[in-house]
C-alpha cells in the first residue's frame, strides 16, 4: 500500500516545472492541477512497468474543499462553502477509483461514504483481519468498488466541525464538550451547533447551495427527515471524547528556544502629546 499526499493544489500557490512563467494566482493554481495530473501519470506508469497495474487499486481523493476565491464548480454551479466549512463545498469531495480488471470502469454513484470507511474497506480488499474487541466507525464499501453492489452500507454520514484547544500542565485538549457538526443522507442535511440540537435542515436535491432552512417547515417529508435525524443524533454520545494529547519527549536534535525580552519602545513625544490633548477634550 502506498499513501502519497501531495502538497500540490494547496497554498502557497507557486509556478510548476512545466509552467514556470505563471504569475497570477489562478494561472498558478491551474498549473498545479495540471502538474498533479502529471505526477499521477508517473505513478500509474510505474505500476505498468512493475506489471502490477491490473491488481492495484488507485484512489484519488482529498480531505476538504478549496479555500478563498479560487473555487471551481460542481454541475455548473459553485458550491457553498470551502475549506473548514461544513457546507458541501467543504466536505463533499471527489473520490475517484481506478483498477483495470478489478473495478468496473465508467461508473458514477451517489453512494454515501466516509473517510472512516477506508480502514475496513482496505482490510476487506486485502483479506486482512480487523482487530477484535474494537468498534470501528467505518463500514466497508469494498463490494461497491468491485461492482458487486450498487450502494454502500451507509444511510447517513457525518462531518465534524472543530474548536479551539488549550494547553495545560498535562497536555493539549479540546475546549468544547460537543463540536458542531452536520449529518446528511442522499436527500437531506441537518446542522448542529455546540449542543445536540438541530439548527437547520436543507433539501440537497432542490437546494444544493443550502440557502433555504426548512427547520420550521410543516411538510410531511420535512418532518419525517427531522425525525430520522433526531433518532440518529440520539444514538450518538452526548459528549465528545476530547482526547488529551500529551507532549512527547524532546528529540536529541531538538534545541530549546529562549524567548527574547521585549524591546523598549522608543519615546514618541509628539504622538503622546496628541493623545493627551485628545483625552483632555473628551
How do residues 22-44 score in pLDDT, each as one tens digit?
999 889 999 999 999 999 999 99
**Residue 247 confidence (pLDDT):** 75
Whether 180 is covered by a domain: the verdict is yes
Whether 187 is covered by a domain: the verdict is yes
Whether 164 is covered by a domain: the verdict is yes
Q: Which three cell numbers stand for residue 252?
A: 536529541
Whether 45 is covered by a domain: the verdict is no
Structural domain including 190 reads: 155-245
Residue 202 CB-density burial (10 A; 0-12 exposed, 13-18 middle, 19+ buried) = buried
How many domains does the chain divide into?
A: 1
87 vs 78: CA distance, rounded Å: 12
Asked if residue 57 has pLDDT above 70, the reply is yes
Whether 237 is covered by a domain: the verdict is yes
CATH code where residue 190 lies: 3.30.1120.10
Whether 83 is covered by a domain: the verdict is no
How do residues 67-114 score in pLDDT, each as one tens digit?
767 777 777 777 888 888 999 999 998 899 999 989 999 999 999 999
Asked if residue 236 has pLDDT above 60, the reply is yes
Give percent above pLDDT 70 in the chain. 94
Amino acid at each position: 500500500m502506498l499513501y502519497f499526499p501531495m502538497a500540490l493544489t494547496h497554498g502557497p500557490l507557486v509556478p510548476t516545472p512545466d509552467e514556470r512563467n505563471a504569475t497570477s494566482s489562478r494561472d498558478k493554481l491551474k498549473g498545479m492541477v495540471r502538474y498533479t495530473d502529471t505526477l499521477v501519470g508517473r505513478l500509474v506508469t510505474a505500476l505498468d512497468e512493475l506489471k502490477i497495474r491490473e491488481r492495484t487499486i488507485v484512489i484519488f481523493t482529498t480531505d476538504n474543499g478549496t479555500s478563498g476565491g479560487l473555487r471551481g464548480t460542481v454541475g455548473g454551479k459553485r458550491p457553498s462553502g470551502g475549506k473548514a466549512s461544513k457546507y458541501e463545498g467543504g466536505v463533499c469531495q471527489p473520490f475517484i477509483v481506478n483498477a483495470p480488471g478489478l473495478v468496473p470502469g465508467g461508473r458514477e454513484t451517489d453512494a454515501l461514504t466516509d473517510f472512516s470507511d477506508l480502514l475496513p474497506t482496505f482490510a476487506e480488499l486485502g483479506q486482512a483481519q480487523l482487530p477484535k474487541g474494537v468498534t470501528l466507525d467505518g463500514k466497508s464499501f469494498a463490494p461497491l468498488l468491485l461492482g458487486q453492489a450498487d450502494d454502500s452500507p451507509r444511510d447517513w454520514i457525518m462531518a465534524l466541525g472543530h474548536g479551539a484547544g488549550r494547553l495545560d500542565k498535562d497536555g493539549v485538549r479540546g475546549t468544547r464538550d460537543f463540536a458542531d457538526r452536520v449529518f446528511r443522507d442522499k436527500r437531506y442535511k441537518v446542522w448542529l451547533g455546540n449542543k445536540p440540537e438541530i439548527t437547520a435542515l436543507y433539501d440537497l436535491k432542490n437546494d444544493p447551495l443550502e440557502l433555504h432552512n426548512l427547520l420550521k417547515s410543516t411538510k410531511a417529508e420535512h418532518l419525517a427527515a427531522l425525525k430520522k435525524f433526531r433518532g440518529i443524533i440520539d444514538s450518538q454520545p452526548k459528549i465528545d471524547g476530547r482526547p488529551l494529547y500529551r507532549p512527547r519527549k524532546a528529540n536529541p536534535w531538538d534545541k530549546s528556544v529562549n524567548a527574547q525580552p521585549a524591546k523598549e519602545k522608543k519615546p514618541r513625544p509628539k504622538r503622546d502629546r496628541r493623545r493627551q490633548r485628545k483625552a483632555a477634550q473628551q
